[in-house]
Structure 1
Amino acid sequence: MNMLEIRNLTVEFPTQSGLFRAVDGVDMTVKAGEVLGVVGESGSGKSVSMLATMGLLPAYARISADRLAFDGKDLLSLSPAQRRKIVGKDIAMIFQEPTTSLNPCYTIGYQLEEMLKVHMGMDAKARRKRVLDLLSLVGIPAPESRLSSYPHQLSGGMNQRVMIAMAISCEPRLLIADEPTTALDVTIQAQIMDLLTGLQRDRGMAMVLITHDMAVVSESAHRVQVMYAGQLVEQATVDNLFTTPAHPYTAALLNALPERALGRKRLPTIPGVVPGVMDRPKGCLFNPRCDYATDRCRTVQPALSDFGNGRVRCHSPLGPDGRPRVKAIEEVRA
């Protein structure tokens, strides 16, 4: 059963030059107990897609979708009061910047207890016990001494653990983890990911893992969605994506991994940047940065279509040899 189902999600923001489409027709499904990895450069629309799902975008954002459902409930048709009963309790999110997501004016203990009071209706004694259990669970030492601490008195890693404790406090059925290891040192990153994957496995949660770290995806996710410039460009199982990427952008991301650059003098990079408001190219949005772009790529935008066991948005998907299949066929004919 699909815990989360999104079809044709579009998010637009007004600018001086018109509407900027930050998310362009994205589809997504997450089954109960599944970990879906979402990868792509900054500006690809990963976080905005999930904030739209949570209902946390500003009022001026224009959101539309053919379907946006959690556990069969249409989120777009719910009133704000009905949605608040789901968001925070059944759907929870670990935000990208814990130091700015936590309220600096309230203690850690107060903010954690507020979640339990609003969503679980616990009394003061039960809330305190639950908060101490949560802080211990996420690996914060001497949790009683931390209840009266403010966010600025804790390290980045500690604040990240508090955010995780807050997100899992009501035992959500879907957890959205937005760059949960950003700005943390390598040792803490490993601890945080072990904690998240352990909680997901033990509690049977569905999880959407947004990250730039392909290594984290390879170790934690079941399926992967690759986003670029607001569009979904590839979707595949972890094994298929890492062994036979079909989209040139996916292949370029994997080629830029340090472990795949052994023996080379320089680490491969992807030239250029993700297009913004004023520099959207015609045709495929990736064509100015693509080594395989053709005249068709520069004029006709490709559709997302089934490819193998996944989906890809490309006129000439790559084959097992890492070359575009259409080009290889044309060469054979010639």
Structure 2
Amino acid sequence: MSLLDIRNLSVDFATSTGTFRAVDSVDLSVDAGDLHAIVGESGSGKSVSMLAAMGLLPWTATITADTLAFDGRDLRDLSPRARRRIIGKDMSMIFQEPMSSLNPCFTVGFQIKEALRQHLDLDRKQRHARAIELFEMVGIPAPEKRLSAFPHQLSGGMNQRVMIAMAIACKPRLLIADEPTTALDVTIQAQILDLLTGLQAETGMALILITHDMGVVAETARRVSVQYAGQKVEEQEVASLFSDPHHPYTAALLAALPERATERRLPTIPGVVPGQHDRPEGCLFSPRCKFADERCRTVPPPVQPPAIGLARCHYPLNVPEEADAI
């Protein structure tokens, strides 16, 4: 049984002009100890789909799913009290912007101890010792001194480490990292990624890494989902995805990597991700796809079998001969 099981997840937001579908029929299955990446451009629904699983979307969001379960428990029908026993303890999340996620009015030590107080049966002395231990785990120097610092007194990389410490404080079974290296310099990015993958290997927790950086995916993940305009358009093992992408969008993303460029000018994907009022009738990628024809523009594409990377495409690329024969 999968640790996190999501089937046919959709999220609609109410707007002044109607509703906007931010996540459209997404499936995701993550096993215990797995390291799964979700990639795609801004606006592809990566963060929203995970916030839906965490129950952290605002009241303007309408969430529907055939299955939305953690460790066999249906997350759709949980009471607020029951959800609080899971979220922050067994399921935890590192948010994209630490400076907007940490409370500027309280010290980082108070905030991490508050998470421990809510979920673990520890007295004040034990919470203090655990906070120091966590800061040491994430590489924060002089941890006892840093506990009394406010977020604005720490650097961006240090605040990101504080967020990671808070997220792993209760030894979660699933950790969702939402673009944990955004706005950090390259050296700190590498340190944060090494920290996350090291913790994942050491504790055996499942890790979902949300990113738009294909280089990060290649170095860290075992399996990757590619999202576009709220839909999952492909899912493969990392090595297979980089060697044989099946969806034209995935192929275009990989072609834009500097290390794969064969000419002086990097190839680009023309156009933009469709919004609320310009979504095509057929394939959502068709206005930007060089392979698209009338069928692509008017008929929603099917989801191909696993042998073709679950590609949501009428004309998948790099189809294996055995799959073609089927």
Q: TM-score, normalised by structure 1?
A: 0.94
What CA distance in whole angstroms lies between the structure 1 residues aligned with 2:236 and 2:319? Answer: 14
Partner of 1:293: 292
What CA distance in whole angstroms lies between the structure 1 residues aligned with 2:303 and 2:162? Answer: 39
Cα distance change of structure 1 residues 206 and 117 upon mapping to structure 2, 3 Å threshold: same
Secondary structure at 1:282 match in 2:
coil
Partner of 2:211: 211
Once the two structures are superposed, the pairs formed by residues 127-138 of structure 1 within 5 Å of their partners are 127-138=127-138
Deviation track 1:36-93 (CA, whole Å, cap 9, x = no partner) reads 1100000000000000000000012100100100001111111111011000000000
One-letter amino acid of the counterpart of residue 301, structure 2? P
One-letter amino acid of the counterpart of residue 69, structure 2? A
What CA distance in whole angstroms lies between the structure 2 residues aligned with 1:249 and 1:130? Answer: 45
What CA distance in whole angstroms lies between the structure 2 residues aligned with 1:102 and 1:144? Answer: 19
Q: Give 1:16 deviation, angstroms.
A: 2.1
Partner of 1:163: 163
Secondary structure at 1:233 match in 2:
strand
Deviation track 1:251-286 (CA, whole Å, cap 9, x = no partner) reads 00000111111x412011111111111111221000
Q: Is the 8 A contact 2:104 2:151 kept in 1?
A: yes
Secondary structure at 1:69 match in 2:
strand
What CA distance in whole angstroms lies between the structure 2 residues aligned with 1:139 and 1:82? Answer: 33
Q: Give 1:320 deviation, angstroms.
A: 6.2
Partner of 1:265: 264
Q: Is 1:26 the counterpart of 2:26 in the alignment?
A: yes
Secondary structure at 2:93 match in 1:
strand
Partner of 1:332: none
Q: Is the 8 A contact 2:10 2:23 kept in 1?
A: yes
Cα distance change of structure 1 residues 106 and 175 upon mapping to structure 2, 3 Å threshold: same
What CA distance in whole angstroms lies between the structure 2 residues aligned with 1:24 and 1:99? Answer: 30
Unpaired segments ≥5 residues, structure 2: none
Partner of 2:45: 45
Q: Give 1:19 deviation, angstroms.
A: 0.9
What CA distance in whole angstroms lies between the structure 1 residues aligned with 2:240 and 2:293? Answer: 25
What CA distance in whole angstroms lies between the structure 2 residues aligned with 1:303 and 1:207? Answer: 29
Once the two structures are superposed, the pairs formed by residues 1-334 of structure 1 within 5 Å of their partners are 1-261=1-261, 263-308=262-307, 310-319=309-318
One-letter amino acid of the counterpart of residue 118, structure 2? V
Q: TM-score, normalised by structure 2?
A: 0.97
Q: Give 1:143 deviation, angstroms.
A: 0.8
What CA distance in whole angstroms lies between the structure 2 residues aligned with 1:309 and 1:3? Answer: 25
Structure 1 residue ranges (4+ consecutive) displaced by more than 4 angstroms after TM superposition: none
What CA distance in whole angstroms lies between the structure 1 residues aligned with 2:86 and 2:155? Answer: 30
Deviation track 1:193-213 (CA, whole Å, cap 9, x = no partner) reads 000000001100111110011
Deviation track 1:211-262 (CA, whole Å, cap 9, x = no partner) reads 011111111111110000000100111111000000000000000111111x
One-letter amino acid of the counterpart of residue 107, structure 1? T
Secondary structure at 1:2 match in 2:
coil
Q: Give 1:15 deviation, angstroms.
A: 1.4
Q: Give 1:307 deviation, angstroms.
A: 4.2
Q: Is the 8 A contact 2:308 2:319 kept in 1?
A: no
What CA distance in whole angstroms lies between the structure 2 residues aligned with 1:87 and 1:317? Answer: 38
One-letter amino acid of the counterpart of residue 225, structure 1? S
What CA distance in whole angstroms lies between the structure 1 residues aligned with 2:99 and 2:68? Answer: 30
Deviates more, 1:154-163 or 1:9-18: 9-18
One-letter amino acid of the counterpart of residue 62, structure 1? T
One-letter amino acid of the counterpart of residue 174, structure 2? L
What CA distance in whole angstroms lies between the structure 1 residues aligned with 2:81 and 2:272? Answer: 40
